[in-house]
Amino acid sequence: MTTDEKKTELEKIAQEIKTFKGLDIAKNATHAVPGEGNPDAEIMFIGEAPGYNEDQQGRPFVGQAGMLLEKILQEVLGLKREDVYITNIVKYRPPDNRDPFDAEIAACAGWLDRQIKIISPKIIVTLGRFSMVKFIPGVTISQIHGVARYYHELIIFPMYHPAAALRGTTMMNAFRDDFAKLKNLLAPQAKIEDNTPSQTSLF
Ligand code: URA
């Protein structure tokens, strides 16, 4: 797919997300938050769900957690947010920032799968546990953060959520250290464990 074709397809998905009214959180959203960034990105970040600021602006990771993500992205990888693609598991803000319900994750899953397929990134970075379990179920984030593994043709790199990193020095250090490992993964000779479950298909 050319970059223009990718842009067109991503815009179609964004329109579907913006006009969808099949969830209460969709009906009540100030703005849906489909995701944004470079359609040819090597790295795709997947967070949990929009918060207050994201709902106000219709853009992912624009609050405090987003500022941290942008700062470390620039400091460690020398990348700007426009260089990567940023989205969430759930495309609408859950009230009072509660955890997303399974039904909300399921309703948004088709859009996320299509976004992944179109962008076809080299690495998917999951931010927090909700996006991690989509690819790596049955583990805790404290056990596996910062360790890349293949899931089908995708490299999944689980990280703590930047909001967790903002809560204390230990988590902040872990968040930074994991970013540094992400840098090594972008090297062509990176060695990665294969975690693909047998006989299943991602899409
Ligand atoms: N937290 C998330 O998981 N996603 C956002 O877009 C903002 C905060």
- DSSP per position, 114-160: HHHHHH--SEEEEESHHHHHHHSTT--HHHHTT--EEETTEEEEEE-
* CATH code assigned at 170: 3.40.470.10
Is residue 203 included in any domain, yes or no? no
Task: Let me know if residue 197 belongs to a domain.
Answer: no
Phi, psi of 126 (to 5 degrees): -90, 130
Domain that holds residue 23: 3-76+88-185
In a domain, residue 194? The reply is: no
Output the CA 33–ligand 1 centroid distance in Å: 10
In a domain, 201, yes or no: no
Question: Distance, CA 62 to ligand 1 centroid (Å)?
Answer: 8
Strands 149-151, 193-194: parallel, antiparallel or unpaired by DSSP?
Answer: parallel
pLDDT level of residue 101 (50, 70, 90 thresholds): very high
The verdict on the CB of residue 51 being under 6 Å from ligand 1 is: yes
pTM of the model: 0.93
Which residue has a Cα nearest atom 7 of ligand 1? 61
For residue 107, tell me if it sits in a domain.
yes
82 lies in some domain: no
Residue 18 lies inside a defined structural domain of this protein = yes
Using one digit for the tens of pLDDT, what is the confidence trace for 173-184?
Answer: 999 999 999 988
Ligand 1 site, residue 65, Cβ cutoff 6 A: yes
Q: Count up the domains in the chain and report the number.
A: 1
Q: 193 in a domain, yes or no?
A: no
pLDDT digits (tens, 9 = 90+) for 111-164: 999 999 999 999 999 999 999 999 999 999 999 999 999 988 899 999 999 999
